[in-house]
């Protein structure tokens, strides 16, 4: 989802874009003369390097990862191969062919004990997914070209071609079908509208910014509160939403309870200003 929204934003701002993904191109940018696509698995060091040697992009945004937290916990070797080794290959290829490296990371590098995390706070992941993303961050910090790490939190937005559902589309679809859902109220996040995340990355590109940036929404919400706002926005039956806590679910991977970001650094240094959650809902469905 992020990759496709970011490609569109970059094309709209006059950039030539080389996109890469595992499998065939699922997007609809092929009509643009400024767009090219390569089928590349980042765990295949040779294919990745070949594509970058041909294109030599100024900036490489590395947003590829296995992000399903439970899948990472259950298939740790595959997760490490993509999220850590694939990141290592991407960095090496970028060092030889690019001028700026941007790595997309996650609030799951934190343990969730405090919340409202700033960039300088010590990460302590509680899941294997979080551990692989932190390992990727540490590799990025040794990158030989200028680099930036973009941590984000609970991304939502329009589902594009080939993208899986997110919390908003799941809640909307479930309530429209009259299905009762259970949503946790003991996890705290700063949900991020996908177009805001893409804009934050664009600002980093434009300003040639380096270092770690927290790019998220500004509203502190629980998933339950998000579900209630979604129901109200669409006039759907909020009585179908049951408030529960995370202990009700048996999941292979532990989730941090309280994350959410302090985004003051991004506001000050990048001029980043996200939409409110309600504004994100309106933009998502009304354009």
CA dihedral over 279, 281, 286, 287, signed as positive or negative: positive
Q: Are 29 and 11 in contact (CB under 8 A)?
A: yes
Q: Let me know: does 179 contact 129? Beta carbons within 8 Å.
A: no
Give SS3 for 2: helix
Report pLDDT for 160. 72
Confirm if 222 and 189 have CB atoms less than 8 A apart. Answer: yes
What are the 10-residue block averages of pLDDT along the chain, 287 residues in total?
Answer: 94 96 83 90 93 97 96 98 97 98 98 97 98 98 98 90 77 96 96 97 98 98 97 96 91 95 98 97 86
Q: pLDDT value at position 161?
A: 62
Please tell me the predicted confidence (pLDDT) of residue 163.
59
Here the tokens at position 268 are: 């000050």
CATH architecture designation of domain 2-286: 3-Layer(aba) Sandwich (3.40)
Angle at alpha carbon of residue 196, lines to 195 and 197, rounded to 5°: 90
What was the pLDDT predicted at 266? 98
For residues 277 and 255, give the distance between their C-alpha atoms in angstroms, rounded to a whole number: 22
> Of 137, 282, 109, whose CA–CA distance to 212 is shortest?
137
3-state helix, strand, coil in the chain (%, to 5): 45, 15, 40
CA angle, corner 164, sides to 85 and 257, nearest 5? 75
Token pair, residue 241, equals 């939403």
pLDDT at 223: 95
DSSP for 22-61 reads: SSS--SS-TT-TTEEEEE--TT-HHHHHHHHHHH--SEEE
- Predicted local confidence at residue 164, as pLDDT: 66
CB-CB contact of 29 with 45 (8 Å): no
**CA 111/CA 238 separation, integer angstroms:** 31
Extents of the domains making up the chain: 2-286
């Amino acid at each position: 989802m992020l990759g496709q929204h970011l490609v569109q934003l970059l094309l709209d701002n006059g950039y030539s874009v080389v996109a890469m993904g595992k499998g065939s191109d699922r997007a609809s940018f092929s009509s643009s003369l400024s767009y090219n696509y390569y089928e590349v698995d980042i765990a295949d060091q040779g294919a990745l390097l070949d594509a970058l040697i041909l294109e030599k992009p100024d900036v490489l945004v590395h947003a590829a990862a296995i992000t399903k937290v439970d899948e990472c916990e259950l298939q740790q070797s595959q997760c490490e191969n993509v999220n850590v080794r694939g990141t290592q290959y991407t960095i090496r290829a970028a060092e030889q062919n690019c001028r700026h490296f941007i790595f997309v990371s996650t609030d799951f590098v934190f343990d969730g004990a405090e919340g409202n995390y700033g960039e300088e706070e010590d990460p302590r992941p509680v899941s294997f997914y979080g551990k692989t993303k932190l390992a990727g961050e540490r590799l990025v910090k040794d990158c030989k070209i200028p680099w930036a790490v973009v941590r984000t939190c609970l991304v939502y937005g329009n589902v594009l071609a080939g993208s899986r559902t997110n919390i908003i589309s799941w809640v909307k679809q479930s309530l429209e079908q009259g299905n009762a859902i259970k949503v946790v109220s003991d996890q705290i996040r700063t949900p991020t509208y996908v177009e805001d995340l893409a804009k934050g990355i664009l600002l980093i590109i434009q300003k040639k910014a380096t270092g770690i940036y927290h790019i998220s929404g500004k509203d502190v919400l629980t998933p339950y509160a998000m579900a209630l706002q979604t129901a109200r926005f669409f006039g759907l039956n909020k009585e179908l939403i049951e408030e529960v806590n995370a202990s009700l679910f048996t999941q292979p991977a532990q989730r941090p309870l309280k994350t959410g970001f302090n985004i003051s650094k991004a506001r000050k240094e990048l001029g980043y200003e996200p939409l409110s959650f309600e504004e994100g809902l309106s933009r998502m469905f009304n354009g």
